[in-house]
Structure 1
């Protein structure tokens, strides 16, 4: 059951500006000296940027934030349903990635898999600590959806979004995460399972239970 919540780049950029994901990173007393002849940071692969970040290159890590901050925020928002908490989680995820840059091993996982797993775990843990269903930030979720073509369609879409946001908010955290990764972020089964640290078969079980619960919630 696809969840038709396409992302809006403008909305994501607004979230990024407000979150200021680099703000929590400690500033070095003096920036590291980069050898001459190195490629521009913006042209470097993620693994190379992480190696530079491990040496204290904050600007290199800033390129990673610019590349991948949008998806980290989206993942956190889909799980938490609250823009302010999603910003805090994404910022914490990047802070932890910066602090652990020296231990990052590209032979074991891609940077995006590693980062998004950190983000997802933080979001799920925060949701569980609440001990109750999330309060869906429908306005924030709506900003990540494509605008409807006309006034009538807009009204229907808004009502559908509100019902969907409410139903998603009532799912257990891991089921919300599975829905977000597989349907809203469009990841493959293998990619989504890797982020959740489960087998693809277990992911299918999570998605099946989530779909059944969503159907019950939206028809009740």
Structure 2
């Protein structure tokens, strides 16, 4: 089970946290918690994947809250470099870094909605259920997130990064 679920869990945590090492820690902790709580899972109420994703997302949010506590304690937020590179110098790695930075700058709920739909490839119905919101609320979050990302990534002519919806 770990071999099948780990890649998607790592991708989810990496997108949410922006740090592969921290994402590995979250994935490991999620599997430990699932193992310890396996007897409490009720198969008829939720899919296993939904439960696993929810545990991982909760762990990601815990870590993101701790980061904000540290930032507010220091009162010195790190500046985010948003200067776009010339399009002819952007290779796939640089493009991915820009998308990751723009994604990390989104509000947490918008980032969660995008990660679940685009990177985890969940249909809107499943993503909304996982987030505990209506499909309409999910679509609203996605719309705002795509609009923000488009404006931040406007330097990339003609590329549509987040435009296709899954139902």
TM-score by length of 2: 0.75
Structure 1 match to 2:43: 106
Structure 2 match to 1:166: 101
- What RMSD in Å do the two structures reach over aligned CA positions? 2.6
- Shift of residue 153, structure 1, vs aligned partner: 8.7
- Shift of residue 154, structure 1, vs aligned partner: 9.1
Say whether residues 1:85 and 2:22 are aligned partners: yes
Any gaps of 5 or more consecutive residues in structure 2?
Answer: 72-76, 81-86, 156-167
- Shift of residue 200, structure 1, vs aligned partner: 0.9
Q: Deviations over 1:4-32 (max 9, x none)?
A: xxxxxxxxxxxxxxxxxxxxxxxxxxxxx
Distance 1:181 1:106, change over 3 A: same
Which of 66, 69, 76 aligns to 1:129? It is: 66
- The aligned length equals 142
Structure 2 match to 1:181: 116
Q: Distance in 2 between matches of 1:198 and 1:79?
A: 19
Any gaps of 5 or more consecutive residues in structure 1?
Answer: 1-63, 137-151
Q: Deviations over 1:58-92 (max 9, x none)?
A: xxxxxx21221111111111101100110111111
**Structure of higher CA gyration radius:** 1
Query: Where does 1:1-220 land on structure 2 (aligned, <5 Å)?
Result: 64-131=1-68, 155-219=90-154
Structure 1 match to 2:164: none
TM-score by length of 1: 0.58
Q: Distance in 2 between matches of 1:103 and 1:135?
A: 44
- Shift of residue 168, structure 1, vs aligned partner: 0.9
Q: Distance in 2 between matches of 1:189 and 1:208?
A: 12
